[in-house]
Each structure stands twice: as C-alpha cells, then as structure tokens.
Structure 1
Amino acid sequence: MSVVEETIHTPVAIVGAGACGLTAALALHRQGIECVVLERDAVPAGSTALSSGFVPAPATRVQKAAKVEDSPELFAQDIQHKAHGQAAPVLVKAYSEAIGTAMDDLEKHHHIPWQLLDQFLYPGHSVHRMHAVPEKTGEGLMTRLRAAADAAGVVVLTQAQVTALHADDTGRINSLSYSQPDGATSNLNCDAVILACNGFGGNADMVKQHLPAMKDAQYAGHVGNDGSAVAWGLQLGAALADMGAYQGHGSWAIPQGSLISWALMMEGGVQINALGQRFHDETQGYSEAAVQVLNQPEGVAWNVFDNQLLRFAQDFPDFVAAQAAGAVKSAADVASLAAIVGCPVETLANTLSAVNPNNAKDAWGRTFKRALEAPFHAIKVTGALFHTQGGLNINGQCQVLKPHGEPLPNLYAAGGAARGVSGAEVWGYLSGNGLLSAIAGGHIAALAVAQTISEKTR
C-alpha cells in the first residue's frame, strides 16, 4: 500500500455524497466556501437512492402554493407525538424549522423540482407535507442532487473510502485519510469535517447489540452503513444517543427484494399472515410494522388490496417495477386468494368481511372507509431493516458532542451518522424522518461550519 504524501487542503471535508452530504456541499457553495466530498462508491447513491425519496417539510413554497396550512410547530408536534415525546427536543426544533428553507433553497438555487404528494396522508402526519421530485423515487432524487452538485462545481471524490480521522490533543481534526481502488491511501487536510456518511444497519454485530429485534431481519439498506461514523466518534471521545432507534419496513416484497409503498395500507389495504388473519393496525406506521410482520409465522405476511388500490399504487414507479418483477399475485375471489396465501378459505373470508366501513373500530383500533372488492391482489412481504436512527449525539447546530454535552471542536454530523428525531424505539419513526435528518441536518451543519469559518477569517 502506498501513501500519497503531498499536502492537500480544503476548508471543509464532507464524508458521504448522499442527500445529506450533497445538501451540505451545495449550502457551503452558496456561502462561497470550498469543500471536498468524499464518497466510497463509484456513483453517489447511498441510502437515499434506496429510499422512496419522499421528504416531509412544512411551509415550503410548494406547500404554500397548494394552500396547505402548516408550520414548523405543527410538524414538531407530529414528530414528538409519533416518538411518544422521546425525540431530542433541540433536534426536533432545529430540523422542523430548517427543512422548509433547505427545500426551498434546493429548488430556488439548484433547480430541484419539488412536488407535493397530496393524494394521501402518510401515518403520523397531520397535513400533506411530503415532497418528492417528479420521478417519485430515491434514485430520482439522487440523480438531481448529483446534477446540481456538478453544475455548482462541487468537488466530489468518488471511490474514496475514508478510513481515519486525525485529531490533535484537543480533539480538533486536522486531516483525514482515505483509500482508493488501487490500494493507495491519501491524506486530506481540513479545517472542519461533516460526517454525512452512514449508520450501522450493515454491521451485523452492531445490529445484534443495539437492535436485537432486527438481528435476523433482511437488511434493505446500503452496505456502506457499516458504523464507521460511530467508531470514529468514539475514538474522539464523542457520545452516542438513541442507539435503539431505527427505520424498519413491514412491506419488503419477497423474493423480489423491493419496497412496496405503505400508501397501499393507508388507503385501505390490509396485511394478513399465513393463517389468513390480520394482526395489527396497519395505519400506525410502516416502521413498527416490520416487527409485527417478523413476529408472524415464518416471518412473512401478505399485502392484500383490490383493483381500486392497484390503480392507485401504479402511480408509484417502485410499485410498477415490483409488479413487473412478478410481486403482485391476482385472485378472482376469496377462494383463489386463499390458495395463493395457503390459508383456510373460511378464515380469510371472515378476515376480509371485517374490512367494512359499517363496523366500529376493530380489535386493533382501525376503521375503514370502504370494503375490499374482488378481484383481489396480494404481495408476499417480510419485515426489513432499512436504516438506523441512532448515532453520534449532536446539538442543534449538528456539532458532535462529548458525554457531558460540550462539542468537539470542529466535527459535525447529520443524517445516518447522527441521532435522529425518532426517540429510542422503532415505533418513534415518523414517515420521512430519514431524509428529514439528512437534508435539514446537512443544511444546518453547512451553515454552522460556514459561520465558524467566516468568524475566523474576519
């Protein structure tokens, strides 16, 4: 292994070129501050590309144009309600206040064309505030962010895997090392570091330690989520927080290995197990549904819906791709559906007959707007781990904190590298919290770094 000895300097080094890292880089560009983004993959994608690409944000230009009444305060209430009041108040306030501006800046200065998804409400949100690019996919969002970074002249080093952060005796980072495909290790000097890289969902040992309910679950996140940000932080004396929090998903199609939008459940679909029975209130959220599904026989369930919901779901490109891959099984009647599931016809008939708008709340507290009508459709799913929501403890400026609350001199973290706003359990995850933390956190971290650098150069 060779080492490049020449001194290369950048004011800000950003580790990770997902939504968090590129948002931070673009915000620094607007402040006139140079940075280098280091990305381990050949093409920046990360967890963002694997997500739905939906971002919750209040009071954006797009939301106001749709005449939706919303505010950071209402959004903060929704976040805390879902987290049972356990989300870090300082981050809930910071993110709910920053995300609207961050989204508007990406639209105004970098031509990211946000659309408001107003056909349905995701669980836990009081109003329509979910935004997406026209492609309605995480890959579409990443494609547009990469194009924006290219247009702005942001320096992104791909196939550059950061291996170490180097600090002096005070904990101030002065450089980092990164490896390249040819085996060379290079050094990059810097004045500040923003960790926008990863969680630990791809680290089996850490998942077993911190998320025992997910130790045998399929991992649907990016392999780069290996916990390195946590390891670097611990080496520098940082504190961790909310390590038991994560985003699961109870609708991972098998064997196709693709995400099925939870909008199907919110609009009237149901989940049944291999016995033909429902087992939870599907409208509570897709994250905690992962645990519910994994607790069923063989750890699987079936998403059941009808033609009206099929037409609705076909508006989502990810669903269309899953359907093309053979995920959707169709049945003319209950007997045919029972044959697909492998359950007793009578049990399934009783289950579906209870999906009735004339009935009061069911045993799990759910009500229905209408009954499901034949022909039926079903998708076999399991519970999966998508990304972790715990990590380095940070303050409202995304500075990484020591155990007693004082910040490390020049280390910032956001997105998967830091604690999120989901409290400490799977049920605390409000739809979109991952990209909320990534985009709001990247925006906040960049502005905080820019202010510090500007003050030092006065």
Structure 2
Amino acid sequence: MTYNFAEHPARIVRAAEMPDDTPAIPAVIVGAGACGLTAAIRLRDAGIDCLLLERDSIPSGSTALSSGFIPAAETRLQRELGIDDSQTRFAEDVTEKTHGQAAPHLVQAYTRGVTGAIDTFERLGIKLEILDGFLYPGHRARRMHTTPERTGAALMASLERTATAAGADVLVESVVRELWLDEDDRVLGVGYASPDGTIAYVACDVLILACNGFGGNAAMVHALLPAMRDATFAGHTGNDGSAIAWGRALNARTADLGGYQGHGSWITPQGALMTWAVMMEGGVQINARGERFQNENNGYSEAATGVLAQPGSLAWNVFDEPVLTLARTFPDYVEAEKAGALRTAGDVPALAALIGCSVETLQRTLDGIAAGRTDAFGRTFKRSLQAPYYAVKVTGALFHTQGGLDIDAECHVLREDGSPFPNLLAAGGAARGVSGNDVWGYLSGNGLLSAVGGGWVAGATAAAHIQK
C-alpha cells in the first residue's frame, strides 16, 4: 500500500495480529544512531537477530554532529592507564550536576551499562582512547572515551561497522509510520515507509525506540523550551519528537521535557562547534561591551542561555597561544579555523577594535584574569592571558533534548499509572535522560551516556525477554 505522509501522520494501530505474510524478527530497533547501534551490538553479542530501521540514507543522528566523547568509569582503558575512578563516583558527578534532579534508577543503570558497552566495543575491534590534558566541567576523573579521530562521525562509522559485522541488519531510508499493538499493549510490529511512500511491515517480539528527541520540532521547542525559541538548532533534523507523539497516543508517561543540551560555543557565521576545552584551560567569553558575563567553568550547556542573553546573542571566545595549541587538536575546530573563524589581535587595543568595545572596559576585564584570583562569578583562574590574543565569535545553540518517554531501570516504557508496557523499550533521545529538567543539569557527555549506556541496557533487556 502507499502512504500519504501529509494526510496520515505516525499512528498507532490496534489489531489482534499483523497483516498476512508479515516477516518476523525477534527485535526491531527504530533508529540507527549510537543508541540503536549499541542495542544491536548487545543483541548480536547474545546471538539474537535484530533489524534497525533508519530514516536517513546514512546512519548519523545527533552523535555524528557531536565530538563523539563517551563518559564511562571502571573501563579496561581506565585501569590500563591507572586512572582512579569508579562507577559510584561517576554516578555522583551526574547527580551533583543536576542538584539531585536526575532519575536515580537511570543514573545507576547507565553508569553501569556504559562500562559494559565500552569494554565490548573494544573487544569487537573498535579502537578507543581516553581524552587527556583536561577535565570537562563536573567530571572528577578522565573518563571521556573517544575514537582516535575525535569526531562523532568517526564514532558512528565504527559502531555501524561493528554492528553489521556482527550480523545486525540496517535498513536506511525507512521511516516508521505505524506502531501495531494488541489490546493488552503488547507490540506486534511496525509499518515503515520507503521514499516512494510504500509501506512494509515487520513483526517483532520486542520493539526498541532509539529514534529521536524533539529539538528539530520548532513547535515543541517553542512550547517546552522557551529559552531556546530563537536559538540556532545545531542538532539533527530528524529529531522531530516522533517517540513522544507515539507515547502520548499510547498514554505513556513522559518526564524531564524541560531538559536539554545547549552549547555556548557555536561558531558563527561558520556554523561549527568549538570545543569547551578552550574555556576549561584558560579561555574566557567576552560580550560586545567588553565584559565577561558568567563562570565559563560551570558548563557549556547552561552557557548557551548566558550567551543568548548578551547583545546580539553573541560573544567572543578569547584565549591565547597555549589554548590555541590545545584547540587545534580537535578536528571540528581545525575545520572552523580553515573557514576563517579565528581572529588575531596583537594587543588589547586591537582586540577591543575587533570586538567593538572600549579599550578601558576590555582592559579591566582582562586585568581580572590572574593566577589564583577568584572572580565575582566564582571562577578561579590558573593564569592570566598573554598577547597575542585570539578570538572566535560564537552564539548559543540547542543541540539535543534530554526529556522523553519515562522508562524504568530496564528501559521499559511506562504507562501513566507507572506500569510497564510488556515489550516496548526506549532509550537515548526517545527517553528521559539523566540531565534533570533544565539546561544546567547537563553534565558533559550525558547525551552519549544516555545513548550508549541506555542502548546497552535496552539491548540486554530485549535479549533477556527474547531468551525467555
């Protein structure tokens, strides 16, 4: 049959069984981003067949647009490097960043699950290393795991290659339009559309929603994230809120819809992410008046709203030679510099002319940056900045949302009364994360913690269900 997308949005179909001659597979996963691919790797490691339905022509999702850093504790890599860390300490850091708002059952499940995922990735041939040289805000140990390329695209390529080599099947350009359930809320299967509008069906024992958040749905952003109404959306356009729409149609519970990852360092006009390592190692953000306006070490997510509140919704990342050397180890920044993002000023008057502010104001701002000094925002500096100065113009951006379907510790989707659906699971962008209900709850790496840790847990739950 053909499907008119404009006339018939994603919908729930109640039936006793799937259409005749529908092929069946034990596990179907909606979305082949980092979450879906991790779940598939877990399932195939247990010898269970699975099918990933991916809307894009190449699996990418939010992960491909990120730096690709996965936080995890007690991994083989950490032990090999002698890094003093624990899953307990990691869970404490996640909880502390949200001031206790993060769902405790998910914090525990994900900080345990991500370790199993990382160690399995390595065992299956994915080359990983731990980011060295600095700590992201809120982390007390070096625990960011990355591919040598240090890009989300490289991570995605490695995950897809590993999942398919293990036997997982991926169908691209396949948009799920129908969820089929019986009267007891047991998932029977899905209907998915090809680019020509043709609908095909597949039955399954377990369905995992690993599809998306809602950052690309302007109406939902306006309603649920008012601080981001006019912000640049730097995430994946496929984040259209489908999982939440299905959940509402099923009377499923949602949670933490006010949580999201912003970023206060979106390079403009080039349109690229600038690593927050620049801030952690001595850089500052200065507005058009020549003033600093926040503690840059609190985190890049909440920095987005700080930048957006400045004149023109703009700021300048200002740093010096040692920080520039560090920035150039990040591929995203290197590409932005090639595109003309970096400006150089030999002295304070030249920097003031670049920013468009008074020399006197800028000089007072820079004089406030000194080794051992704690400023009015609560930031303590390790050293002052030295000429020549470097500057990159940035704005605040929305990357991805952190709220979604409410789930239990095994990633079962929950009904409004708190009871679980029998065989419907969710994780990653489709489900609530561990960042609480506001922008400041996002700890660096929480997106991939939820995607990889959640994908691992969902895959294990699906495997256990099918093996019964």
Which TM-score tier does this pair reach, normalised by the shorter chain? over 0.9
Tell whether 2:94 aligns with 1:105.
Answer: no
- What is the CA deviation profile of residues 30-75 of structure 1, one whole-angstrom value per residue up to 9, with x for unaligned ones? 1111010000000001100001100100000001111011111101
Q: Deviations over 1:413-449 (max 9, x none)?
A: 0000000001111100000000000001111001111
Matched, 1:377 2:390: yes
Q: Which of 149, 157, 160 is residue 171 of structure 2 equivalent to? A: 157
Aligned equivalents of 1:250, 1:5: Cα separation in 2? 52
* 1:166 aligns with one of 177, 180, 196: 180
Deviation, 1:97, is: 1.4
- Give the alignment partner of residue 309 of structure 1, picking from 323, 345, 363: 323
Equivalent AA in structure 2 for residue 2 of structure 1 = T
Partner of 2:111: 96
Q: Is the 8 A contact 2:49 2:167 kept in 1?
A: no
Give me the whole-angstrom Cα distance separating, in 1, the residues matched to 2:162 and 2:310.
44
In structure 1, distance between residues paired with 2:86 and 2:71: 12
Other structure's SS at 1:452 match? helix
Contact 1:13-1:193 at 8 Å conserved across structures: yes
Structure 2: 5+ residue runs without aligned partners? 4-18
**Amino acid corresponding to residue 350 of structure 2 in structure 1:** S
SS of 1:136's partner is coil
2:116 and 2:298 map into 1 onto residues whose CA distance is 29
Cα distance per residue 1:322-353 (max 9 Å; x no partner): 11111111111111111111111111111111
Letter in 2 for 1:262: W
Question: 1:256 corresponds to which residue?
Answer: 270
Aligned partner letter, 2:447: G
What residue number does 1:2 align with? 2
2:208 maps to 1:194: yes
* Unaligned residue ranges in structure 1 (runs of 5+): none
Could you tell me how far apart the structure 1 residues matched to 2:190 and 2:244 are?
A: 15
1: CA distance, partners of 2:409 / 2:366: 47
When the two structures are superposed, what TM-score results if normalisation uses the length of structure 1? 0.97
Matches within 5 A, 1:292-331: 292-331=306-345
Partner of 2:32: 17
CA distance in 1, matches of 2:246, 2:372: 56
| Distance across 1 between alignment mates of 2:86 and 2:238 | 35
Give the Cα–Cα distance (whole angstroms) in 2 for the partners of residues 91 and 146 of structure 1: 25
Q: TM-score, normalised by structure 2?
A: 0.95
Runs of 4+ in 1 over 2 A off after TM superposition: 1-6
- The superposition leaves residues 84-142 of structure 1 with CA deviations (integer Å, 9 ceiling, x where unpaired) of 0000010011111111111101111x211110112100000011111100000100101
> Which residue of the other structure, out of 357, 371, 374, is the alignment partner of 1:357?
371
| 3-state SS of 1:231 partner | helix
Distance 2:358 2:229 in 1: 31
After superposition, what is the alpha-carbon deviation per residue over 1:195-218, rounded to whole angstroms, capped at 9, x for unaligned? 111000000111111101001100
Distance in 2, matches of 1:229 and 1:250, equals: 27
Q: What is the RMSD of the two structures over their aligned residues, measured on CA atoms?
A: 1.1
- Aligned residue number for residue 131 of structure 1: 145
2:399 is paired with a residue of what secondary structure?
strand
Letter in 2 for 1:7: T
Q: Write out aligned runs for 1:20-419 (5 A).
A: 20-108=35-123, 110-359=124-373, 361-419=374-432
How far the C-alpha of 1:395 sits from its partner, in A, is 0.6
Aligned residues: 453
Residue 234 of structure 1: how far off its partner (Å): 1.4
2: CA distance, partners of 1:201 / 1:309: 31
Shift of 1:6: 4.3
SS at match of 1:378: strand
Deviations 1:270-291 (A, max 9, x none): 0000111000000000000000
- State the one-letter code of the partner of 2:297: T
Measure the CA separation in 2 of the matches of 1:29 and 1:237. Answer: 31
